[in-house]
Each structure stands twice: as C-alpha cells, then as structure tokens.
Amino acid sequence: MRVAALAGEIDFGGWRKAARAFRQAGVTPEQAAFRVGADGDGLFDESLPPSAPGAPSFSVPKAFVDLAQEVILHRSADRFDLLYRLLWRLAAEPDLMHVVTDPDVADAVERAKNVSRASHKMKAFVRFRQMEDVAGECWVAWFEPVHRVVEKTAPFFVRRFASLRWSILTSDGSASWDGEKLTFGPSATRDMAPAEDEIEEFWKTYYASTFNPARLKTRAMQGEMPRRYWKNLPEAALIPELVAQSAVRTEAMVAASAPEPNARLAKTLSRLNRDHAFDEGFVPSTLSELDQAVQACRRCPLWRDATQGVCGEGPKRAKLMIVGEQPGDQEDLAGHPFVGPAGRVLDAALDEVGIDREDVFVTNAVKHFKHEPRGKRRLHKTPSAGEVSACRWWLDAERRLVKPKVIVTLGATAAFGVLARKVAVTKERGRGIDLTDGAKALLTVHPSYLLRIPDAAAKAAERDRFVADLEQAKVLL
C-alpha cells in the first residue's frame, strides 16, 4: 500500500499532485491510499514516487477535473479513492466521463450533486447575528453544512453582503469578509458565534407574518427546509406552533387587515441588501457582478417592497435558459429563482424530460417580487409592461453573458421579456422562434398556471402539453 498525505480534507491540489505521481509510477487504485494530515510513506512532496521508466505524461478531460473539485468536498471518507479509480481508468477509457451509466461515474456525479445541494442550502439557511468588535459592527453566523462547502459558497455571501463585515463559522473552518478581503480560518465551535441578537425577533416576526397557513404543505416545507437546519434558524423555532395553529389562522386571516410595515426590520433589510449606489451605466461582465448590481437597481420602483433582487442561477455557459415571470414570495425571501411551488412543478417536468436543472440557467423577466399586502399575506401582482421593459436590461445582460442556445419562456410576461413584443403564448407555443442573437426561443405556459387549473383531467392534459414543450426544447438543443 502506498500512502499519500494530504494537507486537509479539501486539499484538491495535494490530491491531484499525489494522484498524478501514483498514476505515473503505476500504483494501482488497490495499492493507493490518501490520508489527511497523516505521515505518508514519503510519497508526498519531495519524495513522490519516480515514474515507471518510459511512462508517458498524461492529461485528463476538463470534465473530470471539474467533477473532482466538487466531489472532494463530499464528506464521504472514500472520495479520494473513487476519484483515483476514475483517474486510473481514464488511461484505458479516455471517454469514460461520458459513460453516465458507469457505476464510478454515476457515483461521482451523484456526490457532486449532493455537494451542490449542500451549497444551495447554505446560501438559503445561513443566518447572521449582529455583534460588535473593536472595529465596530460585524455579523457572525454559525452553520453546519452537510458537505465541506464553506470555501465554495463564501463568494456568494461576499457578493450579497459586500458592504458588511461578516464571518461564517463552521466545524470545518471559517470564512471572514472584512469588506475588502475574504479569508479562511480554522474550524470553530457553535459557542463562538452569538446565540441571539437584536434583529432576531424581527426575523421571527417577519417569518411569522409571511408564513401562509392556507398554503401549508408540511412535507414540501420540510423538503425545502430540512429539519437538520432548523436548530440554527431563528424562525424555525416558530414552525411547530405555526403549523399547529394553521387552521385557526387561516380563518382569522380572511378577516385580517394589512399590518403596518415593521420599520426597524425594513431598515435592517435595506442595509443588508441595498447598501450599494446604483450606477446606471455599469455593464456587468460576470454573473456575480450582475447579481450585485441588481441589488442596487433603481430602474423601476419594484425594489422598494422586495427583500432582495433575485437573479438567474445556473451554469455560466448553460445551453438552455428558462425564463419565468418574477420571483414569488418564497423566492424573494430565499434569494433564488423557482424554489417555491411553481419551481417544484418545473423541476418535476424537467425530470420527466430528462433535463437536469443543474444544467439549466433559470431566471426571471423581472428580478424583484411585485406584490401587495392582503391581511398578513403578500399577494403576487403581475408586473406591468413598463416594469418588464425596464428589467429587460438585466435579462439581456444575462443572455449576453450565458449565451444560451435555447430560451424557454414560461408564460406571457416571460415571452414579452425575451421577445420584446406582445405575444399570444397559446398560438406561438412549442416551436423554435429565431432571436436576433442566434438563440431560439420556445414559448410555453407558466407552471403556476398548471397549479391553478381546478379540474384534474384538464390539469393532467395541460401538464402533458407543458412536458411536451420542454421535450421540444430538448430537441432544439
């Protein structure tokens, strides 16, 4: 057995160097082992094993390197071995990464998906608490990620909270942003983060007021917000009681009147999310710049009542872009597109067609949630043509950066956002329409339309047509 010592659990550089040396020296997967922090048998660093005489140098497909960088963040102990097995096999099977049914490839892809999911959950469930240190106000969060995604996910928080000083502490390590520089530090313990702060009660009030008992679906809710995250979410303490009271509150809600907005919460949220100056002439050259710039957007008044701007998400070179109308209530709170009920309908349909949502850039024609208060609820309002036209600036920027081949529009607002003309979706749906940038648009209905059809047979038939439209998009790809 040849043992390579790695500097840390996510030491991709160290693994890569050792794995290369192993492969060139003819060390088989059965003979190779990787240990974190352990003393190897001298194979690591200066005394890596010598190459077998005449061993050719080799390169590996980029798809493997990209996948390996994700898989290494998985918490499973055997991930290094799986990756080395793949690397070893690539010598004799150069197309291996395309064989999605191969057990090793499928296993690695699944682990990468788990890592990506853990990163998404971290974006949604980190809760900062306010503290004072010698330099003044700062925000600290304790988080327990399922996989080792702190370093991968920290840049998201830099973009979102660029003007604040913050730290995220986890048992894997910590990430800190001082307003200029992101640094990573050692692991932490829960007691190093503050347990409560001044705005905690406001988060709870806010959550309780946006919690809609009439739409309560406990299983779906747990799917989005798994129980393992609850202990670090201030608002989660309210869930059992809100669920227990949902029937009574549904009745009371009907008669309730619109509450006064919570001024202190609004102030805190506006500091968190909108502490940037709007520069109309700024043209983002990356998706993260775009995301940050949208937070400061003043092209129309919708930013005023929204929690945050919700930009598109997905691979930066996705071939398929899906455009919805605008973020809904849940998307506005989570900061991600299509994570609520319409998103679940979309996900299920994509699944059925065999399109992986992770491969799709999912966005909206309008980036802020337009709504009006009704009792304690925030009711969706359709954006006006003027608002969609104002927000087309951002959609066009996303299109320029991602350069999708096919753009599927969900509903009339999305079609107007992409085509910049009034459209009858029912007449033009399901076929490719040439766009000036060389992409093709394919129009279909919005998934929330499917949710609203009362008759079961009509609903099933409409859903089939929706799935058929997505299949058509796949053909166009």
Contact residues toward ligand URA (CB under 6 A) are: 324-328, 331, 337-338, 340, 342-343, 364, 448
Residue 415 to residue 422: CA distance in whole angstroms: 8
Residue type, 312: G
Q: Please say which residue, 173 or 335, places its beta carbon nearer to ligand URA.
A: 335
Chain centroid to Cα 30, Å, comes to 37
Residue type, 316: K
What is the closest distance, in whole angstroms, from the C-beta atom of residue 385 to ligand URA in the complex? Answer: 16
What is the closest distance, in whole angstroms, from the C-beta atom of residue 468 to ligand URA in the complex? Answer: 20
Structure tokens at 405: 């081949």
244 exposure class (CB count in 10 Å sphere: 0-12, 13-18, 19+): exposed
Beta strand 432-434 with 440-444 is antiparallel
What is the closest distance, in whole angstroms, from the C-beta atom of residue 346 to ligand URA in the complex? Answer: 9
What is the closest distance, in whole angstroms, from the C-beta atom of residue 389 to ligand URA in the complex? Answer: 17
Residue 222 to residue 216: CA distance in whole angstroms: 11
Q: Please say which residue, 331 or 387, places its beta carbon nearer to ligand URA.
A: 331
Helix or strand holding residue 18 (H, E): helix 12-24
| Residue 433 and residue 443 in contact, taking contact as beta carbons nearer than 8 Å | yes
Contacts 24+ apart (CB under 8 A), 250-253: 250/213, 250/214, 253/213, 253/214, 253/375, 253/376, 253/377
Angle between helices 411-419 and 385-402 (to 10 degrees): 60
Instruction: Report, in this order, helix, strand and coil percent for the chain, each rounded to 5.
Output: 50, 15, 35
3 exposure class (CB count in 10 Å sphere: 0-12, 13-18, 19+): middle
Helix or strand holding residue 35 (H, E): strand 32-36
Sheet strands side by side (includes 174-177): 129-133, 136-142, 166-169, 174-177, 182-185
**Among all residues, whose Cβ is closest to ligand URA?**
324
Beta strand 440-444 with 406-410 is parallel
Q: Please say which residue, 145 or 324, places its beta carbon nearer to ligand URA.
A: 324
Q: Please say which residue, 105 or 339, places its beta carbon nearer to ligand URA.
A: 339
Q: Please say which residue, 174 or 330, places its beta carbon nearer to ligand URA.
A: 330
Q: Please say which residue, 85 or 429, places its beta carbon nearer to ligand URA.
A: 429
What is the closest distance, in whole angstroms, from the C-beta atom of residue 336 to ligand URA in the complex? Answer: 8
Residue 66 to residue 154: CA distance in whole angstroms: 18
What is the closest distance, in whole angstroms, from the C-beta atom of residue 410 to ligand URA in the complex? Answer: 6
Handedness of CA 38, 20, 9, 168 (dihedral sign): positive
Q: Please say which residue, 174 or 448, places its beta carbon nearer to ligand URA.
A: 448
What is the closest distance, in whole angstroms, from the C-beta atom of residue 341 to ligand URA in the complex? Answer: 8
Residue type, 121: K
Q: Please say which residue, 48 or 415, places its beta carbon nearer to ligand URA.
A: 415
Residue 91 to residue 58: CA distance in whole angstroms: 8
Q: Please say which residue, 340 or 404, places its beta carbon nearer to ligand URA.
A: 340
Q: Please say which residue, 153 or 326, places its beta carbon nearer to ligand URA.
A: 326
What is the closest distance, in whole angstroms, from the C-beta atom of residue 193 to ligand URA in the complex? Answer: 31
What is the closest distance, in whole angstroms, from the C-beta atom of residue 448 to ligand URA in the complex? Answer: 6
What is the closest distance, in whole angstroms, from the C-beta atom of residue 229 to ligand URA in the complex? Answer: 21
What is the closest distance, in whole angstroms, from the C-beta atom of residue 365 to ligand URA in the complex? Answer: 8
Residue 224 to residue 201: CA distance in whole angstroms: 22
Q: Please say which residue, 109 or 333, places its beta carbon nearer to ligand URA.
A: 333
